[in-house]
Amino acid sequence: MKHLLCTLAIVTTFFALIASVYPRPVFAQTTRTTALPTTRPSTSTTTKLAPVQGEVLLEASASADASMSAATASPSAQQVEQIIQDKKDKDITETSGVQKSKLVSFLDEHPVAALSWHNVLQHGIRGAIDRGLPANIVVLIILFPIITAVISASRHLIGLQGFGIYIPAVLSVAFASTGISTGVVVFTAVLLATMLLRAPLQKLKLQYLPRTALLLWGVSLFILCLLILASYTGFNTFLTLNIFPLLIIILLIENFMETQLSSTRNQAFQLTIETLLIATVCSLLIGWEPLQKAVLLNPELTVIGVALFNILTGKYSGLRLLEYIRFRSIMEQ
């Protein structure tokens, strides 16, 4: 008896679903109301016309439903596309954005003088840009030594340590592509995943390379879940992430692990905060449009100036700024 009732319930539900998907046709009434009063069609003609009109009505209703669903779905899709396009226009690392056109227009507005010993690099850069080399790539290559000089100065003149010089420099370029807020969130997520996976991996007692590969597996899965969650919760900024800065942040895990193994938790936390601070400042410098135009217009002066600055920084052997603040009371005595 129970099986019979279950079967009846399933059959009833099936037919109810069929009735809801395919509603009752109304073309029979339509044929009656649209019939001409003077000439009444025959029964065979009416039976032939009714299904045809019914099919037309069903097709019209289906197309109307499709257009309504497209109209409801299009605003969110258009919003995401607009956000992606705006991000590409502002991204200095994109070779097809508006930033490239701005730099090219800036060069056109400031023609170079005749070829001489002090503007050979300018002529070479302008000729390469005229032949298809993206102007923003040239700017990034010139700006990168400035970024590394700022990082070395923050260590030797100010006293900020961070994770060396490589990680802050690479993070600054990644932040310039992803945006500072989004990049910091991804960086924090990578650190959190690394800290969560560190203890289980130590219990497995694996060799170094398999352990690092398994750590990258876990972090990649964690970032994938984060991106899926962001797409469902409406955080459209994460949908505009480029794959290369994302991979750069993920691949820095090995350096994080080495730093955590050679220092205490408080020291690792302090190094992380200082690295984020340095990378944020350098990312702002990369995205600063006056600096981009200045290095593009004066590449020789920029290259020579950065080299001299690094030499003077390396020659300095006094106290750093944070050490002056730390030992100020002792120095006053």
CA 97 to chain centre: 15
Give the E-state strand segments of the chain in sequence order. Answer: none
CA distance 201 to 195: 10
pLDDT digits (tens, 9 = 90+) for 197-218: 888 888 888 888 888 889 889 9
CA distance 288 to 295: 11
DSSP, residue by residue, 130-157:
HTT--HHHHHHHHHHHHHHHHHHHIIII
Q: 174, exposed or middle or buried, with CB in 10 Å at 0-12, 13-18, 19+?
A: buried
Could you tell me the CA-to-CA distances from 232 to 81, 187, 236, 324 in Å, in that order? 16, 21, 9, 50
pLDDT digits (tens, 9 = 90+) for 25-66: 433 333 344 444 444 444 444 444 444 454 444 555 555 554
CA distance 69 to 72: 5
Tell me the whole-structure pTM to 2 decimals.
Answer: 0.68
Cα angle 231, 269, 220; round to 5: 35
CA distance 5 to 13: 12
Instruction: Check if the beta carbon of residue 184 is closer than 8 Å to that of residue 192.
Output: no
Q: CB 57: neighbour CB atoms within 10 A?
A: 14
Residue 152 has pLDDT above 60, yes or no: yes
- pLDDT-derived band at 258 (thresholds 50, 70, 90) equals confident
Instruction: Check if the beta carbon of residue 163 is closer than 8 Å to that of residue 259.
Output: yes
Helices 135-153, 120-130: crossing angle, 10 deg rounding: 130
DSSP, residue by residue, 221-245:
HHHHHHHHHHHHHT-GGGGG--HHH
CA distance 238 to 259: 28
pLDDT digits (tens, 9 = 90+) for 83-136: 555 655 555 566 565 666 788 888 888 888 888 888 899 999 999 998 988 888
Share of the chain above pLDDT 70, in %: 68
List CB contacts of 178: < 8 A, sequence separation 6 or more: 186, 241, 242, 245, 246
DSSP, residue by residue, 47-70:
HHHHHHHHHHHHHHHHHHHHHHHH
